[in-house]
Structure 1
Amino acid sequence: MILKASQRSGAKQLSTHLLRTDENEHVELHEINGFVSETLQGAMQEAYALSKGTKCKQFLFSVSLSPPAHESVRVEVFEKAINDIEERLGLQGQPRIIVFHEKEGRRHAHAVWSRIDSETMTAKHLPFFKTKLNSLAKQIYLENGWAMPKGFENPKLRDPTSFTLKEWQQAKRANGIWGLDPRELKSAVQDCWKRSDGATAFTNALEERGLYLARGDRRGHVVLTLDGEPFALSRLIDGKTKDVNAKLGDPNQLRSVDETKALIGEKIAPRLSSYIAEAKRMAVNAMKPLVAQKQQLTVAHQTARQEFDTKLKERWDAEQRERSSRTRKGWAGVWDFMTGRYFKVRKQNELEVQFAKERDRTERHGMVAAQLKERQDLQTQIKSARRREAEQVLALYRDAAKFRRMRESREQASARVRDKGLDLG
């Protein structure tokens, strides 16, 4: 599974994020261990209060664990991975929190540790934790027989359309008019770059996708979306600035970002706005039934889990009462202890408890897995609808680019006619 980790502060912000139900369809607080408080916010406050007795600012260590999308992963697999992380990084015995999130048919976990050792009042040092976790992630893939991502097999084969967190957030901000998954921006620019042999071809290919080449203030060549959001070209293509300059020439020959924004605002965006708005309206209407179905499914799944957990608890309590009744009290209990019957009963109870825990986990995993499968089927329909929307918007961009080139061609032809007339006169 993919492991992403960071040392951080911001206990209040992290607790808010972990409990967000607007971004996640299911949030399950699985474990709070080593804290006095039984609530996530309370545990985070404890971690913060303990850190005030030290000079440590980044007193939390947070890890997200994301298994392959369509694998049915038991809770025990997540727990083993988290225990392995503790052992690999030297976090054994540190207070920790485990939270499960589900969104769009995918389940992942968050584990958070307090780095502060309460006995020594020092922070646990975590050298090279990214390298260690990367090695552990590969081990988890192999142990579970999952298909390993190409980036793990060979770093050179890592997905070229992957964003850093900062790039992803920037692309999401630019997502208003562009109307595509942020990864599509990087993929589209890379495709234009590969099939273009120079600046003119590259510029035309970009404009067919509603993108514009410009001169950045500090980043040389940049690509602007119709929103006017600039992206460094070298980062989008995962290349070097000197290679970009060699293929496209001096960026100073291009329009500035402000000039390009003015061009978009004056000549391109107004003409397209009504068409794009109509395409968006149609897409929203097409998505309404799917969105409603998603909301209904989420509520139904949440209700089913609550009812299931209630039944499990009732069964567990009943079985516990039965097990307790086997241990006799008073002189009968003393006799059982002297004759050894007490130890046989205790052993039987321990085995039944172990069996009951395994049975309950298996049954709950089966229910969650069935719900995830149902949600994944719906997500496939949602992705198809989003893709159709993206294709419609891209078609509008291509038409606008063709129209602009046709208009420029007519203007150039008219200018040549005028020039020829002046020469004859």
Structure 2
Amino acid sequence: MIINGQAVKGAKRLAHHLMKPENEKVSILEISGTASNDNLKWALMDMEALGRLTQSRTGKVLYHANINPQSHEVLSREDYIRSADRLMNELGFEGQPRAVVMHVKQGRQHAHLVVQLTDLDSGKLRPISNNYYKHRTVAKDLEKELRLDRSPRRKSGKSFEQKEAQQAKKLKVDVSHLRTVVTLAYETAKQGKDFLRNLRQSAIELAKGKRLVLVDERGGIHSLTRTLKATAKPKEIKDKLRDVIPDLPSPEEAKERQRLSENISEHNRLYQSEDIALRQLAEFRQKKLMEEVQVRMIERQRQFQRQKGLGL
């Protein structure tokens, strides 16, 4: 089970999202604590109206959480209500108005929890802290209690995909494409200087701060080890790049280089078709595999000749 969530605003927009007809099934499991307990849109608008009492500067007076079992798992209404109760208790939202909506989309079941954050006693919003870890704790506990399969989780903080996808959206950089280009640059390089040359052909700089990072042509910073996580381990990366690591610029210096570069073009290789980059990577891996097979065949022939010479 995976649980995530955050404070949001826009009751009408959220109600529209939760009732989208593109879902194969929409079931309102519970609406409680509002004046309109039989209409989701009005219930969420009531919650938002109550939140205005806090004079919140951001207007984010609702908490929207997603409760996602794995694709093959099916939970009952009672299971989702129990999950919502556990999550609210862990986050410190006990007794707050809420709505619980279950969706089935493309055969996969999941649920949404919307909670009103206004504390009527204090006139302030309920605080939100360490929600990532609280989500993970509740998910792990529910997996045991409901006998669900354990979902893979990251070790800490905001995931690479979440954090860098947000940055990429802002900078209009395709993270998936960037990862493909960097992987191609890494696998075709024999040592660090080759890797740097390959990166610069795609207007990417390598820099060193507290860690090794990539700086794309729009100034976005991306962790090198996370970008290459499917290709090489951190130690392998450092060993391969040891000839250039001592002389790498800082991220700020790399950004300045990017700003001053006269070779940036919208037709740069970084923004070529991702299909081309993927094809180049596949071709290189196929060539490398064939070379390894050829080496093994030669070694087997030599071994056979030695055994034949010894009369074995």
Aligned-partner Cα distance in 2 for 1:123–1:246: 48
Match of 1:163 in 2: 161
Aligned letter for 1:234? S
Equivalent in the alignment of 1:6: 6
Larger helix proportion of the pair = 1
TM-score (norm 1): 0.48
Which residue of structure 1 aligns with residue 32 of structure 2? 33
| 1:394 to 2:278 alignment | yes
The equivalences for 1:327-338 within 5 A come to none
Aligned-pair Cα RMSD in Å: 4.5
Matches within 5 A, 1:173-322: 182-183=175-176, 185-186=178-179, 189=182, 193=186, 196=189, 198-203=191-196, 206=199, 211-214=202-205, 222-224=214-216, 231-234=220-223, 237=226, 246=245, 249-250=248-249, 256=258, 259=261, 262-263=264-265, 265=267, 276=273
CA deviation after TM superposition for structure 1 residue 79, in Å: 1.8
Assess if the C-alpha contact under 8 Å between 1:212 and 1:260 holds in 2. Answer: no
Given candidates 72, 85, 88, the residue that maps to 1:70 is: 72
Residues 269 and 141 of structure 1, relative CA distance in 2, 3 Å threshold: closer
* Per-residue CA distance 1:74-123 (angstroms, 9 max, x = gap): 33322211121233334333211122344444332110111224466444
Relative to 1, partners in 2 of residues 1:187 and 1:104: Cα closer, same or farther, differing over 3 Å? farther
Q: Could you say which structure has the higher strand fraction? A: 2
- CA gap of 1:141–1:170, structure 2 versus 1, over 3 A, is same
Q: Matches of residues 60-209 of structure 1 in structure 2 within 5 Å?
A: 60-118=62-120, 121-151=123-153, 155=155, 162-164=160-162, 166-171=163-168, 182-183=175-176, 185-186=178-179, 189=182, 193=186, 196=189, 198-203=191-196, 206=199
Question: By how many angstroms is 1:10 displaced?
Answer: 3.6
Alpha-carbon distance, 1:130 to partner: 3.6
Conservation of the 8 A alpha-carbon contact between 2:203 and 2:270: no
SS at match of 1:250: coil
- Ranges in structure 1 where 5+ consecutive residues have no aligned partner: 277-389, 400-425
After TM superposition, the score normalised by the length of structure 2 is: 0.62
Inter-CA distance 16–204: structure 2 relative to 1 (3 Å threshold):
farther
Distance verdict in 2 for CA 1:185–1:213, change over 3 Å: closer
List per-residue Cα deviations over 1:165-189 (Å, max 9, x = no partner).
Answer: x52245467889x6xxx55644763
Counterpart of 2:111, as a letter, is A
How many residues matched?
Answer: 262
Distance 1:193 1:28, change over 3 A: farther
Instruction: Indicate the structure (1 or 2) with the bigger Cα radius of gyration.
Output: 1
CA deviations on 1:117-161 (whole Å, 9 max, x unpaired) are 446644434554443332111111222333324436xx27x998x
